[in-house]
Amino acid sequence: MIPQGQRVIVLQNEDEMADFMIKKWVEVSQAAIEREGFFSAALSGGKTPVPLYQKLALFKKGLDWEKTHIFLVDERFVPFHHPDSNYHMLKDTFLDQVPIPRQNIHPVPAGEATAEIAARKYEEDLRTFFKSSPGKIPDVDLILLGMGEDGHTASLFPGRLPFNEPGQLVAAVMLDEMRHNRITLTLPVINQAKTIIFLVTGKNKAEVLGKVIYKKDSTLPASLVAPKMGNLIFLSDLEASSQLSYHKEGSQGDACRNCCRPRRL
C-alpha cells in the first residue's frame, strides 16, 4: 500500500510530467506569493528535470519571476562555467531565458576555496534570505528532487550521509576522486519544505522507486524524505513505476485515483 501523506502520480512520459509540473509550479507559486509575497523553489540538477526547465524557459510571461527566488538543492564543487555545474545547466536551460532578477537567483558559491567554505557561505545566504536565526529551519515553498539508482537524492548518498549539526542547513559532501565533491541541502531543510516533488523516470529507476515508496530500505537517503507538514509527491513515468503494485490501465494521473485503489500488499 502506498504510505499515507504521499502521492504517487504516474504519467506516460517526461513530457507529460513536465506539463504536470508547470501546472503545479503555477499553483504553488501563486499560493506562496499570495501568502508571503514571494515564492521560493530549490531545484535539483541531473538529467530528469531538464524537460521541465526547458518548458519553464518558455514562460516569459504568466509566471511572476519578480517574486520568484531560485535556490539549488545541491551543487557539484566545480566552477560555474564547468559543464558539470548544476547552476550552469539551470542558467542554460531556463534562467537566462526568463525575466528573473539576477538577485533572485541563489547559486551555491562553488568558487570558494573548499566545499566546506562554500557550504557555510550558502547557509548564510539561506539564513539571510529566509530571516532564519541559528537553529531555525527555513521552509522552502517547493523542493524538486531527483533520485539515483542507488537511492541517493540531492547529494545525500547511501553510506555517506553528511553528519549535520542540529539546525544545519547545508553540508559539504566529500566523494571519491572520481566524483566531484558536493554541497547539499540537508534533510532537515528538505523535510521542512511545503511541497516536495520527486521526478523519476526510466526502467533503471523502477526497483529503487519501489523500495523508496514502500519504505523498504531506510539506508536509501531518498527514503528519509518525509516532509513534516508539507506534501510529498512522487511523479514518475510508466517505466519507472513498473514495480509499483497498482492497476495501470486507464491511469490518467494519480495512481488510478478514480478507477481503483492501490492494492494492499
Residues that bind ligand 6PG (CB under 6 A): 44-48, 73-74, 86, 146-148, 152-154
Handedness of CA 233, 237, 240, 243 (dihedral sign): positive
**Which CB, 11 or 256, lies closer to ligand 6PG?**
11
Residue 19, class by beta-carbon neighbours within 10 Å (0-12 exposed, 13-18 middle, 19+ buried)? middle
Distance CA(259)–CA(166), nearest Å, equals: 44
**Which CB, 46 or 167, lies closer to ligand 6PG?**
46
**Which CB, 146 or 162, lies closer to ligand 6PG?**
146
- Vertex 144, ends 140 and 145: CA angle to 5°? 120
**Which CB, 187 or 256, lies closer to ligand 6PG?**
187
**Which CB, 48 or 186, lies closer to ligand 6PG?**
48
Number of H helices, E strands in the chain: 6, 11
**Which CB, 28 or 144, lies closer to ligand 6PG?**
144
Residue nearest ligand 6PG, Cβ-based = 146
Distance CA(225)–CA(233), nearest Å, equals: 11
In angstroms, what is the minimal distance from the CB of 236 to ligand 6PG? Answer: 12
Q: Are 265 and 39 in contact (CB under 8 A)?
A: no
In angstroms, what is the minimal distance from the CB of 259 to ligand 6PG? Answer: 30
**Which CB, 170 or 256, lies closer to ligand 6PG?**
170
CA dist 168 → 27, 117, 164, 187, 194 (Å): 30, 14, 6, 9, 18
In angstroms, what is the minimal distance from the CB of 151 to ligand 6PG? Answer: 10
In angstroms, what is the minimal distance from the CB of 260 to ligand 6PG? Answer: 30
Coil vs helix vs strand at 50: helix
DSSP classification of residue 168: -
Q: Which residue has the cell 571519491?
A: 176
In angstroms, what is the minimal distance from the CB of 156 to ligand 6PG? Answer: 8
Distance CA(145)–CA(14), nearest Å, equals: 15
Cβ neighbours of residue 2 closer than 8 Å, sequence gap 6 or more = 8, 213, 214, 244, 246, 255, 262
In angstroms, what is the minimal distance from the CB of 98 to ligand 6PG? Answer: 21
In angstroms, what is the minimal distance from the CB of 76 to ligand 6PG? Answer: 6
- Structure-block grid coordinates of residue 120: 557555510
